[in-house]
Amino acid sequence: MSPLPPGEGRGEGRALHTARPPLGIARGTCDEQRAPMTSFLRTTLERLTQRLRPQRTTPPPAPARAVIPLRPLAPEVAERIAAFWRWFSAERPRFEHAVRMGLNPELQELLGAEVSALHPELHWELGRARDGVIDLSLTAEGNFPLRKLTEAWCQAAPHDLQGWRFHPARPPTPGATAFTLNVAGQDAAIADLRCALEPDDARARLNLRVWHPAFAALEPEARSMVAFLSLDALLGEDDVERWVGGIQLVEEAAEAFVPPAELQARVAALAAAPRDTFSFLQGKNPQGRAAMATLNLALKRLDHLAYEDQLVVTIAYRNADAQGIPPAEEHQAAQALEDTLVESLAGLALHYGHVVSGGRLEVLFYVADKRAAEGKLAAWRGRAQGWQVQRTWHHDPEWKALLKW
């Protein structure tokens, strides 16, 4: 399959488009190791040339995308999305013709303006996939609050737009290892990428050390581009966010480094594994007293976009010792009460664990519907007779309270 004619592009000329959705740069929202490289990529994307040269292979069909539940949109946001789709439905024939003949600057500017009307920090990518379907992707470029907007945009797409696919983030490239990147004048076959995989079982992530033979001829910035474009192609923007933790670029590969197929297989295994596994942690609280936590660190924020409010329900122990730890029988009784609370909030809240500290059991949730949860809490308090119970709310859309562990 040959590339589309020159001129296929996404907003503001940031990428050249080939016969599939272009590769992108996946940017995590809470990965300290990854952040310095990705902030560089934002500023250098316009300076580095990217070119893909596909071999003649037939990729497997893309899997169906799971729909992520969302909170109701603000009326003005819903109207901006509806206005986009009204415009796009009317202009679709022009874009279908342009994808065949080459997307001219006028249409690039027109599409860019409509995407910017959704939000000025969104970017778009357009191209025909090898199965003949035209893909239009929006990307928030690692800006997590905007990822909710792109999800809402995608879910609002009209169902009668045959021959089109819409993506709220850059999708993986079918048959990615058949492609060669050209970054800063250097060819870099995706198939030649090698990674050392260091599992973080508690968080269901893989920390990566990444090597490519092209690194020897590239400056550090361009190496970062090769690594991130390749990972994005192999996994897709969302799955890099879900399953990849820290990323370190290295100059030499050891025997433990594996090819792309092994990376994809390990990520697929993570995705198929249960996510209700809790980790036990213990240490000291700020007052120097004992603290113990049981937490589900493997929850993925991306899969629960509607859950923006943290709820902490505190159950005070009656007979805690000087370290704030209760007798075993009392702790078991408090846990039984916790179980009834989790049951009461089922469907409204994600229970991600509890903390025993300072003579209290803190039961932790993220909640999608605060008002409905308050109603359930009021009913549950009748089952907590004889216990001192308090509840506190924190608006925490980025899940900082969980990510700090």
CATH number at residue 346: 3.30.70
Domain limit, last residue, from 167, 188, 223? 167
When divided into structural domains, the chain yields a total of 3
pLDDT at position 211, please?
98
Would residue 5 count as lying in a domain?
Answer: no
Structure tokens given for 116: 């910017």
Give the pTM.
Answer: 0.78
Which one, of 234, 230, 178, 171, lies nearest residue 57 by Cα? 178
Mean pLDDT of 249-273: 95
Does any domain span residue 172? no
Higher-confidence residue: 28 or 110?
110
- Cross-strand partners of 291: 283, 357
d(CA 309, CA 173): 35
Contact predicate 130/20, CB 8 Å = yes
Does 344 have pLDDT greater than 80? Answer: yes
pLDDT in tens, 59-96: 344 455 677 888 889 999 999 999 999 999 999 999 99
55: pLDDT strictly greater than 60: no
Tell me what pLDDT residue 41 has. Answer: 34
CB neighbourhood size of 206 (10 A):
20
Task: Point out the least confidently predicted range of 21-25, 171-175, 276-280, 293-297.
Answer: 21-25
Backbone angles phi, psi at 245, to 5 degrees: -95, -115
29 vs 399: CA distance, rounded Å: 11
Q: Look at residue 313 and give its three-state secondary structure.
A: strand
Q: Is residue 252 part of a domain?
A: yes
**Pair (261, 382) in one structural domain:** no
Residue 375 inside a domain? The answer is yes
Same domain, 154 and 199: no
Residues 128 and 186 grouped into a single domain: no
Three-state DSSP class for residue 25: coil
CA 110, CA 100: separation in Å to the nearest integer? 18
- What's the confidence (pLDDT) of residue 4? 27
Same domain flag for 162 and 197: no
Q: Which residue has the higher pLDDT, 7 or 312?
A: 312
Residue 381 lies in a domain: yes
Same domain, 250 and 379: no
Q: 156 and 218 in one domain? A: no
Q: Is 47 part of a structural domain of the chain?
A: no
Share of the chain above pLDDT 70, in %: 84
Mean pLDDT of all residues belonging to the chain: 85
Residue 101 lies in domain: 11-34+55-167
322 with 240, same domain? Answer: no
Q: Decide if pLDDT at 125 tops 50.
A: yes
Rounded to an integer, the average pLDDT of 270-292 is 91
In angstroms, the CA 125 to CA 136 distance is: 6
Domain identity same for 132 and 201: no
Is the residue at 109 inside a domain?
yes
Q: Model confidence over 33-48: pLDDT tens digits?
A: 333 333 333 333 333 3
The answer on 93 and 163 residing in a single domain is: yes
Residue 294 gets which letter from DSSP? Answer: E
Same domain? 283 vs 257: no
Domain boundary among 117, 138, 167: 167
Residue 124 sits in the same domain as residue 16: yes
Exposure string of 299-315, with b = 16+ CB inside 10 Å and e = fewer, is bbbbeebbbbbbbbbeb
Q: Is residue 6 part of a domain?
A: no
Buried b (16+ CB within 10 A) or exposed e, 95-120: beebbeeebeeebbeebbebbeebbe
State how far the Cα of 244 lies from the Cα of 122, in Å rounded to an integer. Answer: 23
Domain boundary among 120, 145, 167: 167
Whole-angstrom Cα distance, residue 156 to residue 83?
11
How large is the greatest C-alpha to C-alpha distance in the chain, in angstroms?
Answer: 77
Residue 205's pLDDT band (cuts 50, 70, 90): very high
User: Are residues 28 and 110 both part of a single domain?
Assistant: yes
